Structure 1
Amino acid sequence: MPIPSRLGILRDPDFGRLFAATALGQLGDRIIFLALPLVAIVALNADEFQVGLLAAMTTAGSLLVGLPAGAWVDRMRKRSVMISTDLARAVALLTIPVAWWSELLTIWWLYAVALVHGVLTVFFDVAYVSYLPHLVGRSNLVEGNSKLSAIRSVTSISGPGMAGPLVGWLGAPVTLLVSSVGMAMSGLLATGIRKREQKPESSEHPQLFREIKEGLKFVLKHPVLRAIILGDAIFNLFLVMYQTMLLVFLEREMNLDSFGIGLILSGMGCGALLGALSATRVSKRVGQGPVIWLAPLVTCPLTALMPLAHPGWSVHVAALGLASLSLGGVIRFVAQSSFQQTLTPDRILGRMSATARFVSWGGIPLGGLLGGASGAVFGAKATLWIGAVGMTSSIIPYFLSPLRSMRELPKGEDPELVG
């Protein structure tokens, strides 16, 4: 196969810049995933509930601004939103090593930064999802989502792999400086994207609540979109419960250091990369609809291997279960993201993305709190069991919807008339 055909839309300079910006931003984000809770666990000696509360603060932005973010983003150029939020997140993260060097760092400082970073991430993600159809065209959405998922997966491997040694060498607070640099470079790279959107026409009397209602009504009335966000909501709630206690379990019960934890998280990234590389092929073979519920059905139960593990070789076997979870998650994400973007009119892409995020991510702060509370009462191992069972149950809304047998999106469907 000639190289140009393998590159596909990567030959487009603007998509290439978005691809590179995604790589740097996601690299910073993956380092945050390991380093931020380790700042609390190791540098500040936080207990299980405080770690859970930190996880809740990280994702509370979806509840606080999830719905209005979509309406606001639909009034703005998405590229500008992505650039400004990347740079603002870089500044917020920079305050943690500065506070640590100044001996001012507290758990409350971490809560505040996590909340600000999470709110900015909501705006970034809503703009990012809404911008892709404009940049690559609806006919290239599956390929675009697949390639962006692939680079996110690569950073899921390299990020924890870098973060583990960096935390051991520099300490968790200083490691966040690398994340700040990655976010800043992502924003600067995005400034080079030349394909600009027309500024959305602004209403003389914009009505925020009416616009939010329109987005909610469109998503919740559509059987496919409704099933996707409800399945995501269940999955994300229990995933965060699981993840909240995973680091505690690995560090305190499996006696792993930051390097060992980083290797396990890198293994999850390997699974995600394999999922991204095979997503298009698997979707064509199985069907875009069935793959959305088959992927979690096959891979989520394997996360039960981790609470069955003991210090030693069984931890590495359990890590394969986490890698499988990532593989299935990316395959599902590519298929359902393409469904969502194709079924939604351009004028409400931001509101669709924000509504989907609000519903499917709204339970994530609750998941962090429940994970912390469950860990404090029942222990980290029991919480991992609860998370594994809950993630597997997320297939129910998918299976009860048209996705059960919908092999691909109906051709010729006009998104302006759907819903």
Structure 2
Amino acid sequence: RQLGRGPSSFIPVEELLPWGTERAQRQLLIEAFVSMGRVDNITMVMGLHPEYLASFWKRLYLLLHMDGPLPYHKRHYIAIMAAARHQCSYLVGFHVAEFLKVGGNPAWLQGLHCAPQKLRNLSEINKILAHRPWLVTKEHIEALLKTGENSWSLAELIQGLVLLTHYHSLASFVFGCGINPEAEPEGSHPFQPPSPRSCQSSPASEDGVSGSSGKDAMQEVEVLMARMKLLQECQLEEEGVTQEEMETRFELEKTESLLVAPSVDIAEHVLPPDVLCFVEDPEFGYKDFTRKGEQAPPTFRAQDYTWEDHGYSLINRLYPDAGQLLDEKFQVVYNLTYNTIAMHSGVDTTMLRRAIWNYVHCVFGIRYDDYDYGEVNQLLERSLKVYIKTVACYPEKATRRMYTHFWRHFKHSEKVHVNLLLLEARMQAALLYALRAITRYMT
């Protein structure tokens, strides 16, 4: 089958291989090759941000290869279940091969109905965390911990939940960056994932920014720079908005986010049987609550259950090291900056990064009392909001056109940076809902 050229169907291969300029990046790719015998396409694209990639690998190594409550083959099976929820055949194919490598039973790969009941019991919480994490309750936790011979221990469940949220979010990254499947080496497992849908929906004309649209794109950058400057000045002068006003702005942004959706002409693609067999209730998705008359997710006040004060310590208690590595990765991506915006350097991008992170949390119903959601509207243009919401909530609908149309004058590495923020903000949001449910169950 025809593969897109290079690791991504959105990013030219030359952009991913600046060998002469980035020694740290080159060193990381060599390490990957030595440890795994290959460099996968996710690594190639993440390698644009070596500091993040190093911390991503540490977490991945802990999840899949270090001692933990779950046996290795079950970890890969959970990864397959999670990736299948978003139709991510790239990740499903990779973990099918890994599952067999570590001695998993090939019969389980016929579908979820052939897996042990204990793993099948995860199906419900997998579905909810992937699409509507605000629906997770302590009853879901109780059902998993108290099911007789198929019950999960709390430590196993924590590892399972971290795996599920990790792979839901990684599916967002795969689709958001148009990651291509690798060519299969000879003698490997014959799973043939299709290229991301985005390959097929990308006429070459969308590649570049030229003529009048080039001028528009330049102007977009200048407008964004001016708005950031203005907001920074206003913050210094403003006496402080009332709490009620802040709440109103959040609710407004959350309601508006319901109207931000990919265009209806994006065809629903048929799930390949080798992915569909791992999915129960394939119709269940994020989009359902946006139908007329239905409510947005209930608001989760971040101050009531924070990652720093609650989530982190709960994970660390039940799954040592994982809390530390998760926290490090959230911090690395949130603080990652090169102080550049498109062709400008020496720019403080904190405000922009925070707006992206908080907008992801907003579409999942999480509100920060001390954040003015008016900034989101000022800093994130509509095409960027459509892209963020699509990649965070239904990544399988992401297209190259969406990727091309936001921040048209920005570098590919900056767009990948947006995807890293999305990956981690999305994972943290889902984890907060899951950990809050566990805390409620325990108390």
Class of the TM-score when normalised by the shorter of the 2 chains: under 0.3
TM-score, structure 1 normalization: 0.27
Going by fraction, where is helix more abundant, 1 or 2? 1
The alignment's TM-score, normalised by the length of structure 2, stands at 0.26
Larger Rg: 2
